[in-house]
Structure 1
Amino acid sequence: MSFRRSFCFYVAVLLFLLTPAAQAEPFLKIELNEDLTFDLEVPDGGRLHALQAGFLRAGTVIPATRYEQLAVRTLEQGRRIELCWTSSTLPTMGIAFDVAANETTFSSWVEAGDTGINGLVPFLTERGTSKSMPDLFEAAERVYLNGYQSWAFSGWVALDREKARFDDPLRYQAWGNNNRHLSLDSHLSWWMFGVAGVGGKNPLFFGALSAQRWKTSFVSVYTKGSLRRLAVLNGSHGEPLQFGRVTSERLHLAWNSAATIDRYAQRLRPALALGETASYSGWNSWNSVATNVDEALVLANTRTLAGPLAGLGLKAVYIDDGWSKSWGDWLPNGKFPSGMDGLAASISAAGFTPGLWIAPFVVDRSSDVARQHPEWLLKDGKGNPIPYDMAPQLAALPASRYLLDVTVPEVRVFVTETFRRLWSWGYRIFKVDFLIGAAYEGVRSRPVTAIEAYREGLAAIREGLPEEAKIIACGAPLVPTVGWSQAMRIGPDIHHPSLPLLWSYLANAGRSTANLAPFHQRVFQNDPDTVLIRKPLSEDQARASLAFLALSGGIFVLGDDLTVLDEARLALLTESWVEKVRSYPGRLVALDRNHQVGKKVYNTFFQPILDRGRYSGVQPELWLRGDGDQRLLGVFNWGPRQRALTVPLDNLVEGCSATEILPVTGEGCVVEQNALVCHQRPSSAFLCELRCKKSSR
């Protein structure tokens, strides 16, 4: 052992990171180990053993244990600690922690003199040997997993205590091309990751706070229920770094009371003004007619919004896919005789904001753009255009769509001019879809990472729009889009027009709506997809669909063809409770989100089909919204069977020992001894208002 290494080891055994006021209890304790790893101990939260950093070389992790020396120093009165690994044969590498109560932000760096380096591993842990405190991963019961883009799964999944997994993150290559690496396997998460013990005890929560250069993925290995390894990866296949010091994305780590998605959302808050949620509300064509939209249908639904449904106060009319000649040739087809500018003028004259769908980075193979400009297309290593594949299961089919390389200057001009033209037509809100197309890995005209290219593409869109333009991002990687769009789809499609309308798709969308509710009005205006109430949904299902989308507080957009809804369903939209719930103050909280733990990741496309319209997933059932001495409580039975549930009312309204119940909509729940006792029909909802009981004295 060198003197430097020995000195660091003996000093750091007693090294604490303290609060600014140097309180007696440290926020965090770091202890170095002989093998150049370190242990991290959190107050009342246990210990993480054998932590280290690393870097990616040709897709393989080179860990800190391969180094020769480790030095450490503290800065800013103990609020910052830096560790530095050196070697005679490896590039110098380090990691820095900035600490506050119950949380820290950290990032790693490497002196990239080796052109084979193509990413960083800012956090790598192996399950340690038995020590004085239990390893937090050894006691793990569940993990929080999040998909790569906005249609994907997000929720808690139980560690399988019967099966053993042998996935090795040290050889993992963090791609993320569309659906190829969504979290359909329980060892992978994107942008955020949580771990907790039995009943949610001793939680840890990680999240990426930036995405300037790389995608951030969390790859875990567990055996018979014990989490044995976690690697946080910044990097992608085939994207070598430039020379010089390269820093990872900033990462958030919180424990105990701060280890929640709420705290992460607060740290992720963008500078962009999000606007009022109500300004995005309206009607969208996709979930009723798909690409069969035409001018007559749009105007007929606009008249219904302005007439029978005027009391809802909806603001926008969105023309979704089906208006253009092709993907890539963004000019109107023959179904819009007044032109897209004429249609926008008619929508505006009716008192609504015109909204338009576009997928700017994906082009049809037969489009003029693809045929006339093959040099604009993203290529693979053999020079072939990379196809956009809707799902990995379909990758073997002939490609029908390709991707634009936004590093080509002419492509950026094309994208900018396209949006400038759409704005000139009179459209003011843009649903910008399939954004993942700009973030595929591939061979570009310049050596940038996929995320750097993605950010160039987003900038090209904004360059074509004035500051007041509103954007709803869809099919987008989460963190790289923060601060660019005011709104974001936060879950899977609520319906696929090529299939019958299935309750299982609507119920499935409720999971992400509940779990990602903390992002609403902090990071984005959450877009949970459209409200659907038409048959063949039962009356209970229609009411529950309307209830969960209204209670979510997110963007409220109708998705049925309003001109063919029967009178009873149209009347459901105008019931007084709908507007009351939509406009209720406060942010949604899913009371049981940390206790609804699925056995596996629910495949958001195929599983609803296999369910044959019935819902087999696990998701939050108790939704609470409001502030002050009033709350709205939603009790949802998502499944196909009648369900009994008792909800204690103590402390649901802050400071109240007794609560008054005012039913809002739905049936099956009554109050018994300060508890809500429910016997709910399948796929139904009960909403009620909770108020503090007034004293009779």
Structure 2
Amino acid sequence: MSIQSPPRLPLTLHGGEVGGSPTWASAPTGADAPTETFFTASRAAFLHGRTEGDVYRNGHNSWSPSGWRAIADAPLRVANPVRRQTADDTRWDDPARHHSSWMIAVASEQGTLLLGCLDGETPRLHADTDLVSAWTETGRSASWVLLEGDELAVFARYRDLLVERHGSLSQAPGAVWSSWYSYYETISRADLDEVVPQLPGLGFDTVQVDDGWERLVGDWHPNDKFSAGMKDTVSLISDHGMRAGLWIAPFITLPDAEVVQKNPQMLLRDASGSLVHAGTNWGSHYYTFDFTRPDAQGFLVDTVSRAVHDWGFSYLKLDFINAGTVDGVRSQDVDREQAYRTAIETIRAAVGPDTYLLGSGAPIFSSLGVLNAVRTGPDVAPMWDNYATDDPSDATAHNALSNAVSRLWMRGLVGLDPDVVYFRHRRNLLSDQQMQWLKDCATLSGFPAVSDPPAWIDAEDHDELRTFLTTSPATEQVGRYRFRIEDREVDFGPVFDDSDSFYPL
């Protein structure tokens, strides 16, 4: 790269400098490539001068709302503080300014500006009609890049820089059948005995046993519905030529779990010594662990090793792992996202490089290079919207789809799981167009997953299901919400028609 002029935007740094490797320069891929400034700082701010345009917000974890909003309008956020504890980051929530985790972008007719962290401790950002600002939670210096140019090129360049810095795990998810959106917590070995033999003929090669197999969240042993044990369940799946996957949430525990009674010293506490409530689900709050403690790390190793090495699962869906980043007093004074990363690195070391690790509720930035894939939106549902809520993190097809489409720029950086699609027409309130959007997003994400039992899918839809599961068509992004799948153009613009957006779709 050739060194050119200093940054054209008024840039203010605290605790850092412009420079390093490299300084202000043009990216090496042609005249239309974005200009870029690399710098280190604990805090940074620049005046962008765009009073009209859109702001791109990337949420903290898998379920956190992400996408574009008009810069002059209210920010995209989870308003309910109880839900926010689970579905986003409570510490830096702002009801007035646009706020984001690890990167933010401002787009207008003048072009797109993106300020993103390359490596740093819990990076956060704000944007308004004058200023974009960034900082690290610990106040320690981080590596940043400021990009300016065409919207698609700016996001692509940022993705490539993150791959250069953190790497990308290339193992594919396979064609996944999940038990969750059909059986939910009622899943049993008897249900699997009925469903599993039918799956290979439809194109499935991975079976993920979801929540409902365990005694209790926090007590990771099979319940009475799996009385023959989980190793026997793996045998059922592998005997039909498929990979066995397991849902598990090893970062959390419900209050009544055995580990809370026997090993309370491992749990994360606040400054007053009280146990931290890390989120809510299953009609209760739940706790998390202090993973800077050797005994908590040992518990984590024992839990995942049992699933992989004793039982034989080679695919783990790690759920509610955002709990590893909540505020608390840890035995070591480390950044909270670094504490989380230490925990997932502990899992990776325990299960080995060949085990597929999918993070749900995953803090994406601090998962790079460790997890194979992350969920990119809230839970899907067989309904487009829910009249009882306008929370963008709630389980609806619209929320799951809009989030997943808004994060498609990350494909190639980490595996993207937009959640399952629906082929069934019974027990389903989605229109044909809404179902097709979900299928197209899954194809663009490279993560085909379905939860419908074969008995729920009409025979005339089996060929389409096989094609969806077994083919990898060429894809291309041609606009913010427009993509090409082979020769067919997919326009997700109508999905976002009700959002407050200035920029033309």
The yes-or-no answer on 1:287 pairing with 2:181 is: yes
SS in 2 for 1:464: helix
Offset from partner CA, 1:15-66 (integer Å, 9 cap, x none): xxxx52x6xxx3x42xxxxxxxxxx31xxxxxx23x21236xxxxxxxx9xx
Q: Aligned equivalents of 1:321 and 1:343: distance in 2? A: 14
Question: Would the alpha carbon gap of residues 516 and 461 (structure 1) be closer, same or farther in structure 2, given more than 3 Å must change?
Answer: same
> Which residue pairs with 2:463 in the alignment?
574
The yes-or-no answer on 1:586 pairing with 2:474 is: yes
Q: Displacement, 1:556?
A: 0.8
Question: Would the alpha carbon gap of residues 566 and 585 (structure 1) be closer, same or farther in structure 2, given more than 3 Å must change?
Answer: closer
2:154 to 260, 277, 290: 260
Task: Write out aligned runs for 1:298-313 (5 A).
Answer: 298-306=192-200, 310=201, 312-313=202-203
Question: Would the alpha carbon gap of residues 361 and 442 (structure 1) be closer, same or farther in structure 2, given more than 3 Å must change?
Answer: same
Q: Aligned equivalents of 1:229 and 1:154: distance in 2? A: 20
Q: Aligned equivalents of 1:441 and 1:528: distance in 2? A: 28
Q: Aligned equivalents of 1:449 and 1:432: distance in 2? A: 21
1:634 to 472, 484, 490: 490
Q: Displacement, 1:317?
A: 0.3
Q: Aligned equivalents of 1:75 and 1:461: distance in 2? A: 33
Question: Would the alpha carbon gap of residues 636 and 482 (structure 1) be closer, same or farther in structure 2, given more than 3 Å must change?
Answer: closer
Q: Displacement, 1:257?
A: 3.1
Whether the aligned pair in 1 keeps the contact of 2:53 and 2:107 (CA below 8 Å) is yes
> Which residue pairs with 2:399 in the alignment?
508
Question: Would the alpha carbon gap of residues 417 and 289 (structure 1) be closer, same or farther in structure 2, given more than 3 Å must change?
Answer: same
The yes-or-no answer on 1:366 pairing with 2:366 is: no
**For residue 152 of structure 1, what is the amino acid of its counterpart?**
S
The yes-or-no answer on 1:410 pairing with 2:322 is: no
> Which residue pairs with 1:377 in the alignment?
267
> Which residue pairs with 2:452 in the alignment?
560
Deviates more, 1:295-304 or 1:324-333: 295-304
Q: Aligned equivalents of 2:18 and 2:58: distance in 1? A: 35
The yes-or-no answer on 1:351 pairing with 2:241 is: yes
The yes-or-no answer on 1:218 pairing with 2:121 is: no
Task: Write out aligned runs for 1:431-580 (5 A).
Answer: 431-495=317-381, 501-504=382-385, 505-520=396-411, 522-534=412-424, 535=426, 536-537=428-429, 540-541=432-433, 543-545=435-437, 547-563=439-455, 565=456, 567=458, 570-575=459-464, 579=467
With normalisation by structure 2, the TM-score equals 0.84
Task: Write out aligned runs for 1:335-350 (5 A).
Answer: 335-350=225-240
Whether the aligned pair in 1 keeps the contact of 2:418 and 2:445 (CA below 8 Å) is no
Question: Would the alpha carbon gap of residues 298 and 549 (structure 1) be closer, same or farther in structure 2, given more than 3 Å must change?
Answer: farther
> Which residue pairs with 2:391 in the alignment?
none
**For residue 471 of structure 2, what is the amino acid of its counterpart?**
S
Structure 1 unpaired stretches of 5+? 1-18, 30-39, 42-47, 56-63, 65-71, 81-96, 110-119, 128-135, 166-174, 496-500, 594-619, 642-697
The yes-or-no answer on 1:331 pairing with 2:237 is: no
Q: Aligned equivalents of 2:177 and 2:108: distance in 1? A: 43
SS in 1 for 2:211: coil
Q: Aligned equivalents of 1:235 and 1:405: distance in 2? A: 19
Q: Displacement, 1:304?
A: 2.1
**What's the RMSD between the two structures over aligned residues?**
3.1
Q: Displacement, 1:592?
A: 3.7
Structure 2 unpaired stretches of 5+? 29-33, 76-83, 386-395, 498-505
Q: Displacement, 1:571?
A: 3.0
1:228 to 115, 124, 130: 130
Q: Displacement, 1:345?
A: 0.6
SS in 2 for 1:195: strand
Paired residues in the alignment total 466
Whether the aligned pair in 1 keeps the contact of 2:280 and 2:286 (CA below 8 Å) is no
Instruction: Report % sequence identity.
Output: 25
Q: Aligned equivalents of 1:511 and 1:345: distance in 2? A: 38
Deviates more, 1:291-300 or 1:355-364: 291-300
Q: Aligned equivalents of 2:302 and 2:131: distance in 1? A: 48
Q: Aligned equivalents of 1:75 and 1:327: distance in 2? A: 47
**For residue 302 of structure 2, what is the amino acid of its counterpart?**
E
Offset from partner CA, 1:532-589 (integer Å, 9 cap, x none): 23333356257425532453242111112333x153xx5324238x616962433442
> Which residue pairs with 1:608 in the alignment?
none
Q: Aligned equivalents of 1:209 and 1:561: distance in 2? A: 42
Which structure has the bigger radius of gyration?
1
Q: Aligned equivalents of 2:278 and 2:154: distance in 1? A: 35
> Which residue pairs with 1:317 in the alignment?
207
2:36 to 81, 101, 104: 104
**For residue 332 of structure 1, what is the amino acid of its counterpart?**
P
1:53 to 4, 13, 31: 13
Greater RCO structure (CA 8 Å; 6+ sep): 2
Whether the aligned pair in 2 keeps the contact of 1:295 and 1:335 (CA below 8 Å) is yes
Offset from partner CA, 1:637-676 (integer Å, 9 cap, x none): 85699xxxxxxxxxxxxxxxxxxxxxxxxxxxxxxxxxxx
Task: Write out aligned runs for 1:52-201 (5 A).
Answer: 52-54=12-14, 79-80=22-23, 100=27, 102-104=34-36, 106-109=38-41, 120-121=42-43, 123-125=44-46, 127=47, 136-160=48-72, 178-179=87-88, 180=90, 186-198=97-109, 201=110
Offset from partner CA, 1:442-485 (integer Å, 9 cap, x none): 10111111022112111221122122111111101111100001
Q: Aligned equivalents of 1:582 and 1:263: distance in 2? A: 30
Q: Displacement, 1:154?
A: 1.9
**For residue 377 of structure 2, what is the amino acid of its counterpart?**
G
Question: Would the alpha carbon gap of residues 177 and 124 (structure 1) be closer, same or farther in structure 2, given more than 3 Å must change?
Answer: farther
SS in 2 for 1:355: strand
Question: Would the alpha carbon gap of residues 229 and 283 (structure 1) be closer, same or farther in structure 2, given more than 3 Å must change?
Answer: same
Q: Displacement, 1:147?
A: 0.7
The yes-or-no answer on 1:429 pairing with 2:315 is: yes
Whether the aligned pair in 1 keeps the contact of 2:85 and 2:279 (CA below 8 Å) is no
More helix by share: 2
Q: Displacement, 1:100?
A: 4.3
